[in-house]
């Protein structure tokens, strides 16, 4: 298990001590990410191995986990994951548990890559948050808001996108940026140091929606190398 160490001098992450605190703490001030640090019991690698899911993303149903033939440690891991799913469902959410063996990348990223390997914020049309937990494999990564710039605000990138749009930098252009999700992706400023979300920790991060009291939390999926055991990831 990896401990989460918030970057020194950064106040965007608030550590909490329970699920109730995780769901019940409001974002505000500089805080746009909450982390419930946990040392999880169980063997998640064994679950992955026994699942033997194929390439890409496989969404696991509760029954898929319940039916596995596992050791005591593997069973513990299943109990933890089913418990987390249950807690989120009881909270009115619809979490999914994914086994990830590589994501689809943009074939031709053009001026702005829009896949999950690129730092981005999640967006919603109504109030929402993203919940995340990596149980196994490389963890998601975060980027401080003060170490990031929206790609569409980088002059060269904006110029390129304007060319692609074929019009003026007006309301229509902004709609074009939004429709293509270009405005959700970020570049690292020089010297930026992304931080890891760690394994086992339960995160709730701020999403971009009209009226969100804080800037959305910038994050990305980690690079996965072919031949890696893959990731077990809860997302809501
Ligand atoms: Fe995301």
Tens-level pLDDT at each residue, the chain (236 residues): 456 667 878 889 999 999 999 999 999 999 999 999 999 999 999 999 999 888 888 999 999 999 999 999 999 999 999 999 999 999 999 999 999 887 667 677 787 888 888 999 999 999 999 999 999 999 999 999 999 999 999 999 999 999 999 999 999 999 999 999 999 999 999 999 999 999 999 999 999 999 999 999 999 998 877 677 789 999 99
Strand segments, DSSP code E, in the chain are 13-16, 33-36, 56-60, 96-101, 129-136, 141-143, 148-150, 186-188, 195-196, 202-206, 218-220, 231-235
Distance 69 CA to ligand 1 centre (A): 32
Distance 10 CA to ligand 1 centre (A): 21
* Nearest residue to 31 (alpha-carbon basis) of 206, 195, 218, 236: 206
Distance in angstroms (rounded) separating the CA atoms of residues 186 and 149? 5
Distance 190 CA to ligand 1 centre (A): 22
Distance 115 CA to ligand 1 centre (A): 9
What residues are neighbours of ligand 1 (ion), with CB under 5 Å?
Answer: 122
Distance in angstroms (rounded) separating the CA atoms of residues 217 and 33? 7
Q: Name the DSSP letter for residue 103.
A: P
Write the CA distances from 58 to 4, 18, 51, 105, 157, integer angstroms: 27, 29, 10, 16, 34
| 148 strand-pairing partners | 188
pTM over the 0.75 mark: yes
* Nearest residue to 234 (alpha-carbon basis) of 208, 204, 196, 212: 204
Distance 122 CA to ligand 1 centre (A): 5
Distance 4 CA to ligand 1 centre (A): 19
Distance 189 CA to ligand 1 centre (A): 19
Distance 170 CA to ligand 1 centre (A): 27
95-114 burial: b if 16+ Cβ within 10 Å, else e? bebbbbbeeeeeeeeebbbe
């Amino acid at each position: 298990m990896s401990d989460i160490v918030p970057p020194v001098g950064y106040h965007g992450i608030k550590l909490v001590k329970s699920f109730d605190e995780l769901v019940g703490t409001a974002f505000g001030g500089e805080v746009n990410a909450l982390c419930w640090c946990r040392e999880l019991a169980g063997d998640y690698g064994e679950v992955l191995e026994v699942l033997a899911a194929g390439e890409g993303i496989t969404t696991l149903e509760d029954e898929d986990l319940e039916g596995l033939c596992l050791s005591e440690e593997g069973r513990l891991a299943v109990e933890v994951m089913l418990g987390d799913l249950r807690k989120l469902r009881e909270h009115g959410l619809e979490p999914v548990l994914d086994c990830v063996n590589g994501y689809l990348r943009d074939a031709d990223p053009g001026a702005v890559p829009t896949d999950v390997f690129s730092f981005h914020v999640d967006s919603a049309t109504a109030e929402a948050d993203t919940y995340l937990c990596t149980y196994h494999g490389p963890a998601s990564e975060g980027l401080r808001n003060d170490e990031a710039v929206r790609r569409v605000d980088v002059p060269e990138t904006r110029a390129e996108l304007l060319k692609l749009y074929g019009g003026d930098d007006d309301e229509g252009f902004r709609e074009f940026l939004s429709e293509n999700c270009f405005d959700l992706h970020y570049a690292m400023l020089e010297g930026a140091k992304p931080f890891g979300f760690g394994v086992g920790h339960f995160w709730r991060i701020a999403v971009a929606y009209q009226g969100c009291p804080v800037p959305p939390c910038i994050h990305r999926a980690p690079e996965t190398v072919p031949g890696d055991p893959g990731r077990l990831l809860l997302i809501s």
